[in-house]
Structure 1
Amino acid sequence: MKGRAVPKVLFTFGREDDLDRDAVRRLVASLSKLLEPGDALTATAAPDLEFTSSVPFGGAYVLDQLWRRLRIDQIVGRVGQPKRGRRRDMTATERVLFALVANRALAPSSKLAAAEWITNDVHIDGLAATGEQTCYRAMDWLHEVTGDLEKQVFDEVADLLNLEVDLLFFDTTSTYFELEEPDEPVARDDTGRKLDGDQAGDDAKQAGFRTYGKSKDSRDDLPQIVIGMAVTRDGIPVRCWCWPGNASDQTLIRQVKDEMRDWTLSKIVWVADRGFSSAENRRHLRKGDHAYIIGEKLRSGSPEVQAALSRQGRYQDVAENMRVKEVRISDTDRFVICHNPEAAERDRHMREQLVAQLTDLIADTDKLSDFKRGELRGRIADKPGLNRCLRATPVGKLRIDQAKIKAEENLDGKYLLRCSDPHLSAEDIALGYKQLLEVERGWRDMKQIIDLRPVYHRLEERIRAHVILCWLALLLIRITETTTGSTWPQIRRELDRLHLGTFTGSTGTFQQVTALTKAQRDLLAKLEIPVPKQIVALQPAPC
């Protein structure tokens, strides 16, 4: 110890007259990248400036650029004009609608929370603030023009992405509402839309919108609605539909096909799962120049399924963990059996666990009374996996059904497809059906990322508008993902690190964007979106 302070020089800039100021700026910019966006802005601010706020900027900026590239801002302006009379300025409505879509993609919340988010927690170009009632009015308008807007948005998407919709995937899901009672039944047409009093006849269907049905969220105890979505093979959502909660999957796809008849689509092969496999649906989908690929229920017991599964033939390897075999049992339809060895191993393992569990359940039941065995039989009947392996003897004793287990072994890892297109190869049929997973991924993202549920609305029109907002958000997300090759959560995290800071000084107020990182520049380059201006707004102080 020297008993005095000894200065330690970390870096020397040299003589002031020889100072490389550009090098200093680069050094400051490099060091600022180690700080949070708000801290970086504060550190680089001029001494006479006060740093007042910082909000995320990148996510909303990218979504807004895609929104404008798809010309949705112009579409809103067109569909919002009256057929006669004075033209309306739709700019404010368009900005609120975009903000609500961005909210679903970036920070999903209720309309009250969304209004606060728009006003205080994000920068939306052209919309400094909004209120809850303004959001509701925009949603009411959106419900009125949904049909025209969906059609024109798809035309722009098809033109931008050069979409050739040869395969169109359709599936449904449900979303429930935490209500004590379902909605009161009202008169509806065949599409599930409400009828006015003068339109409703005595034979009109009566149904509430939020009502009980077969829940795909395992919440049969709560009222729900049914939502359908058509998706391209690249995962681009084409259109959404809503129906009352008791709507049956078997009839919905016919309405979907009819409503898309006038859209400018190339030849379509509809791809749907086993829930849409009725003979009437298949006849309807074949009308015009359309075809279908539909899954068949292996345990339906139909003669066609049994004939297809019993037909001998050699499997062809078409992809990793996928083998296919085409069997000819019909003059009109083609049947393709798909086999996944890994899935077969999983099925075998699951069945062994079920048999072991069932064996424990029925052990020593011969000693029970007929009434007690009947009780146990009833409990097992509610569990399809266990019930499938159980049989009862003529005197009511419970046994493992070895014949059914043997039959189940023949189904391990298999699924059966039916196709009406004579030109598709068996490989194309199998891989096309496998892409139905894109719809399932869409539903998963709608519920987890865009937060389709909970729905905070009570009126049917606003619930339908809420679903359309979620569809538009998913559309922008999918375009971003397919263009960049990254997932939306990764993209969103990176973009949200790009902030907009507000500074106030004696000469006025200005807003400045933080420096772009390499990852942010790469994302913008892949999306072909221009780098944002560094100074977004500048307002001189009043004289």
Structure 2
Amino acid sequence: MPYVRTVKTASGKTAVQIVWSSTKGSRQIEHLGSAATEAEVELLKAAGRQKLLAGQGELDLGIQPPPQAGGPLHITSSRMSHLWDSLSAAYDALGFDTAAQDEVFRQLVLARIIEPTSKADAPRVIAEAGITPASDRTITRRLNLYSAIGFREQLAAACAAQVNLGPATLVLYDVTTLYFETDEGDGFREPGFSKERRLEPQITVGLLSDANGFPLMVHAFEGNKAETKTMLPTLRAFMETHGLHDVVIVADAGMVSESNMDAIEAAGLSYILGAKMPRVPYVLEQWRKDHADQDVPDGLTLTARWPGGPSTKGRDATTFYQYAHDRGRRTIKGIEAQVAKAEAAVAGKASVKRNRFVQLAGGTRSVNRELEEKAKALAGWKAYVTNLPDPDAEQVIGSYRRLFQIERSFRMAKSDLRARPIYHRKQDSIDAHLTIVFAAMAVAHWVEQATSWSIKRFVKTARRYRTFTIAAGEHTITAVDPVPDDLAEALDRIKDRSQAH
């Protein structure tokens, strides 16, 4: 059974501890604090006993305090001070207190970081943190505000102020889908292409971030809207909101359709994009002719330039083709596995399943050797296209590779913050939910940058340490759980960074 004990320290004070377990001589000990007077010792011991009886409410512990304490002891409050105050400091440093001007919104955002759950269950999380929560009715009424035109834009403006936006700012773009457990669409939640191969109605969510993955804008689209048709509306809304005439948009090849490229060119925007290679490029064929007896060296980069014209507003386009040995090895292995399956299907030894190397002509099946040859010729190569003036290959490719930051942000939203709006049906309610998730992503990213910890690790560690307010008659004392050195260092970093803002 756990028990409370006191230990004399080298400084002459008395430490009060909870011994939680004792197995074969080893103990798990929680240090509650140190006291210099008998009154303080008794108050810490009372806090320890109350902690052992957590969940049984406030009760008279029957301890007779020293005369100077004056009265029975009981805990009047307990809160996750380290966690809540740190997250709140990040929230204020981002300017969300001014942008939202709504303490209920603060509670919902921080509660989603601490324990992602439904809006109806959020008051429980807030209360467990030691904060007086808003009522259910108040939260329900405020959701209309969070989905209103302009509210999310104010938060986005606060986020933009953190990254010093300008024409040369790198803006990363990516999309994800969030599905709903329902059978029928309603015009907004609709079945569409799903990377998870789900058939349920879904919505498509586009996210803009800076080069480090810090969220700048989130936009929701109908679930059956093609991913390639989401980038330009999100980008235009972002630029109009911040009065920008140009940014450097970075996106994967899957986001770039021919119409997208035309629209980007027509808008005169700068870009770094992944480029598709439907055929072997001329510069690659020429290099192979000139180096017929040589293997392609790892990291080889070839360049092709295209002069600008009226459609590109005179801006030249440059494509860099880079070879990576590991990428080529993995691609060749995949091609050979697919070709082997295609050969088995043609021989009638296996059923025909989606295999690009099976060629059907009339009623005849054959292996598409021409496609196999082209695929192997392109194995290991990746193309990057930009219209930046005098581009540097290393800089362009390095900027493109930052796309993993926005993918990481999406993973954080879908896992740590559970962005899928399970309990929402109407579009206004879904938009309000995404606004809360967007703000939570920004706060979580700020904390991660300040501490170099993952938000999951920070929350899991910091929530264990609480602050207790103990009443002894007319006197009150505050007892704080001492924190380990690594958490103390993380808390100091948050404090220093928030004060700098």
TM-score band by shorter chain is: 0.7 to 0.9
**For residue 97 of structure 2, what is the aligned residue in structure 1?**
73
Contact in 2 for aligned 1:230/1:238 (Cα 8 Å) = yes
CA shift at 1:51, angstroms? Answer: 4.5
Q: 1:105 aligns with which of 107, 113, 131?
A: 113
Alignment deviations for residues 5-56 of structure 1 (CA, whole Å, 9 cap, x no partner): xxxxx9997xxxxxx884334x547989932879998338886423477553
CA shift at 1:417, angstroms? Answer: 1.7
TM-score by length of 2: 0.78
Please show how residues 290-439 of structure 1 align to structure 2 within 5 Å. 290-298=269-277, 300-301=278-279, 306-307=281-282, 309-312=284-287, 322-329=299-306, 331=308, 332-364=316-348, 376-377=351-352, 380=353, 383=354, 387-392=355-360, 396=364, 398-439=365-406
Contact in 2 for aligned 1:106/1:492 (Cα 8 Å) = yes
Contact in 2 for aligned 1:139/1:462 (Cα 8 Å) = yes
CA shift at 1:499, angstroms? Answer: 1.6
CA shift at 1:464, angstroms? Answer: 0.6
Alignment deviations for residues 336-379 of structure 1 (CA, whole Å, 9 cap, x no partner): 112222122122222333334444444455xxxxxxx9xx44xx
Q: Distance in 2 between matches of 1:64 and 1:213?
A: 38
Matched, 1:130 2:105: no
Matched, 1:259 2:234: no
Q: Distance in 1 between matches of 2:374 and 2:107?
A: 55
CA shift at 1:409, angstroms? Answer: 1.3
> What secondary structure, in the 3-state scheme, does the structure 2 residue paired with 1:465 have?
helix
What is the Cα-based RMSD across aligned positions, in Å? 3.6
Contact in 2 for aligned 1:55/1:499 (Cα 8 Å) = yes
CA shift at 1:483, angstroms? Answer: 2.5
Q: Distance in 2 between matches of 1:266 and 1:23?
A: 67
Query: What amino acid maps onto 2:158 in structure 1?
Result: V
**For residue 23 of structure 1, what is the aligned residue in structure 2?**
12
Q: Residues 348 and 266 (structure 1 numbering): CA distance in 2 closer, same or farther, change over 3 Å?
A: same
> What secondary structure, in the 3-state scheme, does the structure 2 residue paired with 1:23 have?
coil
CA shift at 1:395, angstroms? Answer: 5.7
Q: Distance in 1 between matches of 2:338 and 2:439?
A: 43
> What secondary structure, in the 3-state scheme, does the structure 2 residue paired with 1:417 have?
strand
> What secondary structure, in the 3-state scheme, does the structure 2 residue paired with 1:525 have?
helix
Unaligned 5+ segments in structure 2 are: 21-27, 34-43, 51-62, 66-71, 292-296, 309-315
Q: Residues 457 and 37 (structure 1 numbering): CA distance in 2 closer, same or farther, change over 3 Å?
A: farther
**For residue 146 of structure 1, what is the aligned residue in structure 2?**
151
Q: Residues 12 and 400 (structure 1 numbering): CA distance in 2 closer, same or farther, change over 3 Å?
A: closer
CA shift at 1:156, angstroms? Answer: 3.6
Q: Distance in 1 between matches of 2:301 and 2:331?
A: 18
Q: Distance in 1 between matches of 2:363 and 2:247?
A: 55
Q: Residues 40 and 324 (structure 1 numbering): CA distance in 2 closer, same or farther, change over 3 Å?
A: farther
Contact in 1 for aligned 2:47/2:479 (Cα 8 Å) = no
**For residue 235 of structure 1, what is the aligned residue in structure 2?**
213
Q: Distance in 1 between matches of 2:153 and 2:224?
A: 27
**For residue 163 of structure 2, what is the aligned residue in structure 1?**
158
Alignment deviations for residues 75-123 of structure 1 (CA, whole Å, 9 cap, x no partner): 223xxxxxxxxxxxxxxxx22111111122120001111122212x113
Q: Distance in 2 between matches of 1:352 and 1:486?
A: 42
Q: Distance in 1 between matches of 2:92 and 2:304?
A: 49
How many residue pairs end up in the alignment?
444
TM-score by length of 1: 0.72
Of the structure 1 ranges 512-521 and 226-235, higher mean CA displacement relative to structure 2 is found in 512-521
Percent identity between the two aligned chains:
21
Query: What amino acid maps onto 1:325 in structure 2?
Result: L
Query: What amino acid maps onto 2:333 in structure 1?
Result: H
Query: What amino acid maps onto 1:261 in structure 2?
Result: M
Q: Distance in 2 between matches of 1:498 and 1:510?
A: 17
Unaligned 5+ segments in structure 1 are: 1-9, 14-19, 78-93, 184-207, 366-372, 533-543
CA shift at 1:74, angstroms? Answer: 1.8
Matched, 1:278 2:257: yes
Q: Distance in 2 between matches of 1:392 and 1:530?
A: 63
